[in-house]
Chain A
Amino acid sequence: MNRGRRLEVGVTGLCMLVAFCMLGPLLLPAPPAADPTNAALLPPGTAVTEIVLDDGRALVSPDVRKERNITVVKGPLRTVEVTNERIVSIRTTRFWLGSDRFGRDVLAQLMAGGRISISIAALAALVALLVGTTVGLTAATGGRFVDSVLMRMVDALMAFPVLFLLILVATIFRPGPLVLVALLGMTSWMGLSRLVRGQVLTLRGRTFVLAARAAGCPPTRIWRTHYLPNLSGPLSQDTALRVGDLVLAEATLSYLGLGIPPDIPTWGAMVAQGHRVMLDGWWLATLPGIAIAFLVVSLALIGDGIQERLSLSE
């Protein structure tokens, strides 16, 4: 990879993925309805016919034959014949990324899961940013005693393998989406607080801060003009990498069945589902995994790119 372009490549990748998840459902034709008897485990690209009956039921199958009075819908398990008067609408469409074992469209699930996974990770990163910055600033400005108490606590929290802590808390609290956001945020602010504390302590000794202080600049102004601009670079680099970590953490919890309730399709839960039918449908576990990797690598590139810019401007 061309080293100078990491930021651009990362941002492009991230925007593409977010646009895919958010705008996809608006731009693409509606996905075929879920029909577990006729349309389960169809490989990517399969063309199907969707028939909506007068009682609201939908039949979806790749093999539909229309005869004079009746329509024959063939599935792997059974063949259904419906009289033509009962058909309300009929259209042909495609499972672009295949269907799962309940006959649901993987493409639609991937977009819905992405919206959930990305929002949870982004919100959790925001929580971590708030908590971490607060603790870091308090430690850096609150005097020696406060500093050492807070930092020892951070050390202790960092000693927990994050996944263990998540499993401990997830088991006890049974998370819904908002609890999961709080949970992920509260278990990932520690590195950030160290970063903020270290940056503030370093900046405090830098000549331009000393000069501003000597010139009688009020503290709020020193914070606004010197500390914040110098903090924003490292903070945004750290946040980019952290969102990636949080995406992986959320996916791992969902995979292990300890994330948000299983009726909401997250990418991790999709991989877990796919692993149960690995030999019958390779695409089920593979595609959401690639989506996760795409997102995490984009964020890592953004983080690296920011780091590069920072070291250039030093």
Chain B
Amino acid sequence: MKSLVIRRLLLLIPMVWLVATLTFIVVAAAPGSYADTVDHPGLTAEQREALRARYGLDQPIHRQYLSWLGSIVTGDLGTSFVTKEPVDRLLARTLPPTLLLGASALLLDFILGVWIAVTAVRKPRGWFDRISSVVSLGIAGLPSFWVAGLTVLVFALLLGWFPASHMHSVGADTLSPLASLGDLLHHLLLPAACLGLAAAAGTARYLRSTLLDIRGERFILAARARGLDEGRILWVHTLRPALLPVVTILGLSLPFLVSGSVVIESVFSWPGVGLALLQAAYARDVPVIMGITLLGAVAVLVGSLVADVLYAVVDPRAREDGP
């Protein structure tokens, strides 16, 4: 078990290196440079040279690459062109809202996905099964930005049940801690539901077919022969072995959630990493984009590592000769 974790952690190092190198290649291959992106007609030739020197662009490409790697190792991701805020501080500011949104969506994904799949399998080809499989197919095809926009229109603008954007109401800092938490949850519900529902549709589709497979196993027949209650057979005997792959699926849905958060954060003006990425993209703020892309990739790598380790925790067979 320990050796699995260590092996996976060691594998993480070359992967992060590859990811950082690819990010560098993409940016270095682009026409123009940092100095051009902040170009201004009023700049003199000397000022442009000074800018190039300041960002190290007068150095040969391998020097630039080495200093980029070096700065990543030391945790220095540079400064934003636009706001002059250090990128690591920007990440520290925007990461908690994104994590909160992502974790709520993941929780919703899991609970809703399991509930839908189990209820559907209770009567295969029954009305719930049919409706839920059509709906989950449809949800998988609907663009998330469209769903989010419609949600804002119906629940925020027309019905007025929830706020349309942002994380806190104006003046929320004067509220009592409990009221402030309530305000936060009130703002969180719509974006988390949009993000989590789409993921839950995928989880439910996957889990449904696993559950149907397991229903045919002999130990289910044995449990039924012992006169166990059908609900217990479903929730305990069938669901438990079916949940093993779901752990992996949840780990793999991390890239989906990370990408989805960009769209959802943009629609709901949620002050997270995704919104920061978009604002940086509109302003061509290259250091911020590079930093966030790197962070996103590392998050996905760590996510799949955690999923692998969790899988080994719940399934003893994966411990011995893991991947």
Q: Which residues of B lie under 8 Å from residue A159 when comparing CB positions?
A: 15, 19, 255, 297-298, 300-301, 304
Q: Which of A171, A272, A294 contacts B281 (CB 8 A)?
A: A171
How far apart sit A279 and B263, CA to CA, in the bound complex (Å)?
21
Distance between Cα atoms of A300 and B202 in the complex (Å)? 13
| Interchain CB contact under 8 A, B293 and A168 | yes
Interface segment among B78-86, B143-151, B186-194, B236-244: the answer is B143-151
A152 to B19, CA, bound (A): 11
The distance in angstroms between the C-alpha atoms of A297 and B205, with both chains bound, is 14
What total of A-B pairs shows CB separation below 8 Å?
144
The reply to whether A168 and B15 form a contact with Cβ atoms under 8 Å apart is no
CB distance from B32 to the nearest CB of A (A): 8
User: Are A171 and B289 neighbours in the complex by a CB distance under 8 Å?
Assistant: yes
B114: CB under 8 A from chain A?
no
Interface range on chain A (Cβ under 8 Å from partner): 35 or more
Given contacts A161-B258, A297-B141, contact A285 B146 (CB under 8 A): yes
From A156, A163, A285, A289, contact of B18 by CB (8 A): A156
Residues of B within 8 A of A275 (CB): 149, 267
- Kindly state whether residue A153 has any CB partner on chain B within 8 Å: yes
Given A156-B15, A271-B146: A171 in contact with B284 (beta carbons within 8 A): yes
Asked if A185 is at the interface (CB within 8 A of a chain B CB), the reply is no
How long is the Cα–Cα vector from A256 to B146 in the complex, in angstroms? 12
| Contact of A208 with B by CB under 8 A | no
Q: Is A255 a contact partner of B134 (Cβ separation < 8 A)?
A: no
A293 is an interface residue with CB less than 8 A from chain B: yes
Q: In the complex the two chains form, what is the Cα distance from A271 to B147 in whole Å?
A: 11
Q: Which residues in A have their C-beta under 8 angstroms from that of B30? A: 172-173
Contact with A along B1-40 (1 / 0, CB 8 A): 0000000000000110011001100110011000000000
- B300 with A252: CB separation less than 8 A: no
A256 near B255 with CB under 8 A, answer no
The residues in A between 77 and 103 inclusive whose CB is less than 8 angstroms from any CB of B are none
Q: Pick the contact of B141: A155, A173, A292 (CB < 8 A).
A: A292
Q: What separation, in Å, do the CA atoms of A159 and B138 have in the docked complex?
A: 27
Contact A164 B15, beta carbon cutoff 8 Å: no
User: What 1/0 flags go to A153-187 for Cβ under 8 Å of B?
Assistant: 10111011111110111111100000000000000
**Residues B296 and A164 in contact, CB atoms below 8 Å apart:** yes
CB proximity of A272 to chain B, nearest CB, Å: 8
Distance in Å: Cβ of A261 to nearest Cβ of chain B? 15
**Cα–Cα distance between A135 and B304 once the two chains are bound (Å):** 23
Verify if A278 is at the interface (C-beta below 8 Å from B).
Answer: yes
Could you tell me which residues of chain B, from 46 to 91, have a CB within 8 Å of some CB in chain A? none
Establish whether residues A300 and B263, one from each chain, have CB atoms under 8 Å apart when the complex forms: no
What sequence of 0s and 1s flags, for each residue 139-153 of chain A, a beta carbon within 8 Å of any chain B beta carbon?
Answer: 000000000000011
Q: Of A160, A169, A257, A285, which is in contact with the most chain B CB atoms at under 10 Å from its CB?
A: A160
Once A159-B15, A282-B153 are accepted as A-B contacts, the answer to whether A292 and B284 lie under 8 Å apart by CB is no
CB pair A1–B133 under 8 Å, yes or no, is yes
Which residues on B sit within 8 Å (CB–CB) of A274? 149
For chain B, give the interface size range. 35 or more
Q: Which residue of chain A lies nearest to B149 when distances are taken between CB atoms in the complex?
A: A275
What is the distance, in angstroms, from B76's C-beta to the closest C-beta of chain A?
20
- Quick check: B259 and A164 within 8 Å, CB to CB? yes
In the bound assembly, the distance between CA atoms of A303 and B84 in angstroms comes to 48
Name A's interface SS.
Answer: helix
Q: Which residues of B contact A294 (CB under 8 A)?
A: 141
Q: Decide: B140 and A300 in contact? CB cutoff 8 A.
A: yes
Let me know if A252 and B18 touch, CB within 8 A.
Answer: no
Give the chain B neighbours of A162 by CB distance below 8 A: 255, 259
A260 — which chain B residues lie within 8 A by C-beta?
Answer: none
A296–B289 CA distance with the chains assembled, in angstroms: 29
B282 at the interface (CB under 8 A from A): yes
Which residues A246-292 have CB closer than 8 A to chain B? 248, 251-252, 255-258, 268, 271-272, 274-275, 278-279, 282, 285-286, 289, 292
Contact B290 A278 (CB under 8 A): no
Closest B residue, CB atoms, query A248: B143
> With a CB–CB cut-off of 8 A, which chain A residues contact B143?
248, 251-252, 255, 268, 271, 289, 292-293
List residues of chain A with CB within 8 A of the CB of B293. Answer: 160, 164-165, 167-168
Q: Residue A132 at the B interface, CB < 8 A? A: no
Q: What residues of A have a CB within 8 angstroms of the CB of B267 in the complex?
A: 275
Q: Please, which residue of chain A has its CB at the minimum distance from the CB of B17?
A: A156
Closest chain B residue, CB of each to CB of A286? B150
A293 touches B142 (CB 8 A): yes
Residues of B within 8 A of A113 (CB): none
Instruction: Answer whether residue B278 sits at the interface, using C-beta atoms and an 8 A cutoff.
Output: yes
Contact: A293 with B153, CB < 8 Å?
A: no
Closest to B152 in A: A278
Given A159-B15, A162-B259, check contact A167 B277 (CB 8 Å).
Answer: yes
CA distance A258 to B258 in the complex (A): 18
Does A136 lie at the interface of the complex (its beta carbon under 8 Å from any beta carbon of B)? Answer: no
Please indicate which of the listed interface residues B130, B140, B157, B267 has the most CB atoms of chain A within 10 Å of its own CB. B140
9 A-B pairs with the lowest CB-CB distances in the bound complex, closest first: A289-B146, A296-B141, A156-B18, A163-B259, A172-B30, A297-B141, A293-B141, A161-B259, A161-B258
Add 20 more A-B contacts to A159-B255, A285-B149 (CB < 8 A). Answer: A1-B133, A1-B134, A152-B15, A159-B301, A159-B304, A160-B255, A160-B296, A163-B259, A167-B262, A168-B293, A169-B26, A172-B30, A252-B143, A275-B267, A292-B141, A293-B146, A295-B141, A296-B141, A297-B141, A300-B137
- Could you pull out 21 A-B pairs where Cβ atoms are within 8 angstroms? A152-B15, A153-B18, A156-B19, A156-B297, A159-B15, A159-B298, A159-B304, A162-B259, A164-B258, A164-B262, A164-B293, A165-B26, A167-B278, A171-B280, A244-B141, A256-B281, A268-B145, A282-B153, A289-B150, A292-B141, A293-B143
